[in-house]
Amino acid sequence: MSPQLEDPQAEGSRLKSYLAVLKALPGAAFRRYKGLPLYGKVLFWLWILFEIALLTALIVITPSRVAQFLYDKAEKLAQLPLGWLVVGSLVALVSFPPLHGHTTLTTVCGFAWGLKGFLIAAPASLIGAGLTFCILRLFFHRRLRALSKSNENWTALEEVVGAKGLPLMILIRASPFPPWVYSNVLFASIGSVALWQFLVSTCFVFPKIFLQVFIGWKIAALSDGEQRNKMDTQTKVLNGLLIGTGIGFAILASWWVYTSVQNHIRKLPDFSPETDELAAEALEDTEETPFLTSNPDNV
């Protein structure tokens, strides 16, 4: 029996939907910027100025000197008796909202410790996520209940995740959106999610963490002048290709997982189309989780 080919019309419709999402991104970003309070807009422009200053410093100092400086500091960190504990604690810490930097720190694990950095990044991520889940559940239980009753998107997402359980949680957890810290908050906000389910689904993020550690390891090899001088051109090119391939694979895999999750939620057969759509929208707008928004009832 010949394999069933996908309908070209359906494939074209999917491509159009992807392009429509990309086209809508600038407008959505601008609307979110306009919705920020004054201090949020100030922080945004401070961040832009910081990035410009950082890029300018990189150009003036030269990338090779900056890379060598970072490599030397990473080597000193790796030689500290409790250096691994410091970085592991930071990985766990950035699992709490509103902190960010999980991907950067897991890459630092690879930069300083090579592939052994995975043994720091993975357990620290699991511990940080578990602590975030427990603390938010403990201190924000009333706020969670109040928001669930007042937000139809959240009610729909809770209904969908509660019915589908662990398999859907794993898909959402593996998706790049919501990002790490928002994903932790997301599951802590859904009352039907048990701690053991959350921890098991978090383990499915480990392949992505390993890839981040791997990229950090390869960047470190090209950052050290001594190692770089010992490499022939072919080895340098191979390392560069491995870094580029790793980053490209991470981006493509992340996009594929995210679109798959959205399509899956929007087509769940056991729920009405309205419920599926509301659940997908709640997943896109993770800033609306009960711990990141003000509660109208002040609970």
**pLDDT digit string (tens) for the chain, length 299 residues:** 444 444 555 556 555 655 665 565 666 666 766 776 777 777 778 878 877 876 786 677 666 776 777 788 888 888 988 999 999 999 999 998 878 889 888 988 988 999 999 999 999 999 999 999 999 888 876 776 666 566 666 666 777 777 777 888 888 888 777 788 888 888 887 777 889 999 999 999 999 899 889 988 888 888 877 777 777 777 777 777 877 787 777 677 667 766 766 676 666 666 666 665 656 565 555 555 545 554 444 44
Q: Which of 136, 100, 156 is nearest to 285 (CA)?
A: 156
Whether 61 and 145 share a structural domain: no
Whether 48 and 192 share a structural domain: no
Number of compact structural domains in the chain: 2
Whether 210 and 230 share a structural domain: yes
In a domain, 24, yes or no: no
Q: Which of 188, 181, 140, 139 is nearest to 161 (CA)?
A: 188
In a domain, 98, yes or no: yes
Which burial class, exposed, middle or buried, applies to 292 when counting CB atoms under 10 A from its CB (0-12, 13-18, 19+)? middle
C-alpha distances in Å from residue 120, one per residue of 132, 184, 232, 290: 18, 19, 31, 31
Cα–Cα distance between 257 and 156 in angstroms, integer?
A: 21
Whether 50 and 133 share a structural domain: no
Whether 194 and 104 share a structural domain: yes
Whether 130 and 246 share a structural domain: yes
Whether 131 and 163 share a structural domain: yes
Return the number of other C-beta atoms located less than 10 Å from residue 110's C-beta. Answer: 27
C-alpha distances in Å from residue 145, one per residue of 22, 158, 181, 216: 35, 11, 21, 41
Q: Looking at residue 298, what DSSP letter applies? A: -
In a domain, 278, yes or no: yes
Q: What are phi and psi of 265, to 5 degrees?
A: -65, -40
Q: Which domain holds residue 183?
A: 84-288
In a domain, 97, yes or no: yes
Query: Which pTM was predicted?
Result: 0.70
Whether 69 and 213 share a structural domain: no
Tokens representing 16 are 């159009």
Tokens representing 33 are 């910027």
